[in-house]
Structure 1
């Protein structure tokens, strides 16, 4: 069994409570249940993300009865029944009237801010809203290419004709599923420790450097070859640090951003990697900023307008780090304008921008 990550908060009874909660349009009942946990008393829905599906599909017979919960495992059984003859399995299943379900997932990002005021001091509760319906016919032999192996059959089984809208009926009631509760600061500490180990390993490296101008070779360290390579923290930590040292600091970060956090271990070599991608929670349309348009004053006014719309001073900088509303050219133009005196900006924000210019980062 895979060990539970140290940054995940365990609330054993909450998983069942969430699963039995009846979904509502505004998810108010779910939030009420979550807030009964003392650590989640301040929980609020930040945003939702959809357009994902469970890979696993259920199999239903022609009469609508459930045949199997996992289409891949069931197909393996069917091929074994035919002595490993995939072509025979396809021919047998093609006219049997089997259908596959599809489970659409909408992920709810709920946040509960801590009391320290630190941008990373919050819990991120991820709840999946599952909606499963009959989706398509199981016609493996009707694919553009007949599957030759079990693996191909499993991968191409969901290529059958999509059912008409009137037949895409629910196979079970909509339901919540608690995915995880992440202590964001604890996640960052794990990521920091891994980054420290990576940098220590780099420091131990030695490079043999040759030159066409001088004979022989010299042995140099990373500091000698790449001065200042470790001047800045990793981007996952830098995002929060820049928030705290900029004009955005009075605003709670988790009111504006949630995080797509991954923790993956390569099965081939056991190497573990953590990754973070910020996702804005602003739900209304945002116009894209054109960094080549207007005078410096007019251009900077456009960025300030974005800040007013989203409710965060210097918020445009963080949209520049991730997203398609503000391009990196905007940051460079603001620096040039500030240094030319055509715009006036807070010194703290200018320093953040200058550090970004010295070592750009983004997600």
Structure 2
């Protein structure tokens, strides 16, 4: 019996599923709603604590009655005072009008599409709540420009009481340059293809390029650039190396999306296309691992093992190191040197990955 292939989600269908969620039960209903919209997928959800604020604000009365979006409403009010900002400020600070703001955190949804390490899809969502943020203007400070009226800075960034919640939570696809929905296998293929195309476009120029070196008594020698960099056209982007290293190391026993989300990007800037991602750990360690002058390679081995236990992933320290924040790259270089000197040991496949990285490093 032939089983028809699963239909990959599309942006319009995802938005429709999200729009149908009731804010009162959105957290509990999100995964069931996606599963109903896209049968055959086993979705999982991960929240990331990364507070952000949208620039969408409304004007409300104390009872919650909405008067309109802040910018057009404020523009109309300013026109009533013939553009006189001080007159408008004096008038508005005597009112009890308030402004709202949307605060959000990221949420990522994943689902497998096949057996290989990159065979999965990712949805990048925002979980957002609208709050009563503060008075319509700062009563103690007159703004000096229209933009300060349109983009107020006086509302507190501290957590707000539940009594100030107005709407939400709602989930929406984040507006990202790389697309909020990606099929990771296809995205990696795109990364590799775009990088190859960029380098191939430079081939005629590089085949003509020479590097001039000055020798004794003013003599010069010209060496073709491609002789100095013979593997220029074999370059593998860091995004592909990340997944290859995962698959070939002890980490490959677990799924990437159980530990990492991807901030993807795909845009064109000044005529050149940029495609890639920054990995974001879903459960980072509590403390950074930095090399210290008195830390031997054996102490570092104890510390990376502690990191692996904390994050629940064998060889997890290595991928935290490629990110560059939680584990310093010098830790990796020190352990690689210990491997070469046979002073420490790693599982064979992890040692191969680390030594390959140490020979040609990459990071995000």
Could you say which TM-score interval applies, normalised by the shorter chain?
0.7 to 0.9
Change (3 A) 1:61 1:119: same
Find the aligned partners of 2:10 and 2:302 in 1 and give their Cα distance: 46
Question: Paired residue for 2:333?
Answer: 332
Runs of at least 5 residues in structure 1 that lack an aligned partner in the other structure: 1-7
Question: Paired residue for 2:257?
Answer: 254
Cα displacement (A) at 1:170: 2.1
Cα displacement (A) at 1:34: 1.7
Cα displacement (A) at 1:66: 0.9
Question: Paired residue for 1:311?
Answer: 312
Query: Per-residue displacement from partner, 1:7-56 (whole Å, max 9, x unpaired)?
Result: x9416444233233245789332212222244662111133333111111
1:140-155 matches, within 5 Å, as 142-143=140-141, 146-148=143-145, 150-155=146-151
Change (3 A) 1:304 1:264: same
Query: Per-residue displacement from partner, 1:53-99 (whole Å, max 9, x unpaired)?
Result: 11111112356421113x22333333344444444444443333332
Runs of at least 5 residues in structure 2 that lack an aligned partner in the other structure: 1-7, 175-179
Return the match for 1:241 from 228, 239, 244.
244
Change (3 A) 1:346 1:204: farther
1:122-201 matches, within 5 Å, as 122-139=120-137, 142-143=140-141, 146-148=143-145, 150-155=146-151, 157-159=152-154, 169-179=164-174, 180-201=180-201
Find the aligned partners of 1:167 and 1:289 in 2 and give their Cα distance: 38
Name the SS of the counterpart of 1:159 in structure 2: coil
Change (3 A) 1:307 1:165: closer
Asked if 1 retains the 8 angstrom alpha-carbon contact of 2:210 and 2:225, the reply is no
Find the aligned partners of 1:78 and 1:216 in 2 and give their Cα distance: 73
Name the SS of the counterpart of 1:204 in structure 2: helix
Find the aligned partners of 1:300 and 1:139 in 2 and give their Cα distance: 56
Question: Paired residue for 2:5?
Answer: none
Is 1:98 aligned to residue 97 of structure 2? yes
Cα displacement (A) at 1:132: 0.7
Change (3 A) 1:64 1:321: same
TM-score normalized by structure 1?
0.81
Question: Paired residue for 2:291?
Answer: 291
Question: Paired residue for 1:121?
Answer: 119
Question: Paired residue for 1:359?
Answer: 360
Change (3 A) 1:229 1:63: same
Question: Paired residue for 2:72?
Answer: 73
Name the SS of the counterpart of 1:56 in structure 2: coil
Q: Size of the alignment, in residue pairs? A: 347
Find the aligned partners of 2:51 and 2:158 in 1 and give their Cα distance: 19
Cα displacement (A) at 1:162: 8.1
Asked if 2 retains the 8 angstrom alpha-carbon contact of 1:54 and 1:104, the reply is yes
Find the aligned partners of 2:62 and 2:31 in 1 and give their Cα distance: 39
1:255-274 matches, within 5 Å, as 255-266=258-269, 269-274=270-275
Asked if 2 retains the 8 angstrom alpha-carbon contact of 1:100 and 1:136, the reply is yes
Cα displacement (A) at 1:258: 1.1
1:18-33 matches, within 5 Å, as 18-22=18-22, 27-33=27-33
Find the aligned partners of 2:286 and 2:64 in 1 and give their Cα distance: 45
Asked if 1 retains the 8 angstrom alpha-carbon contact of 2:210 and 2:224, the reply is no
Cα displacement (A) at 1:222: 4.1
Find the aligned partners of 2:14 and 2:22 in 1 and give their Cα distance: 14
Per mean C-alpha deviation after superposition, the further-off stretch among 229-238 and 286-295 is 286-295
Asked if 2 retains the 8 angstrom alpha-carbon contact of 1:119 and 1:240, the reply is yes
Name the SS of the counterpart of 1:158 in structure 2: coil
Change (3 A) 1:161 1:138: farther
Asked if 2 retains the 8 angstrom alpha-carbon contact of 1:59 and 1:99, the reply is yes
Cα displacement (A) at 1:109: 1.0
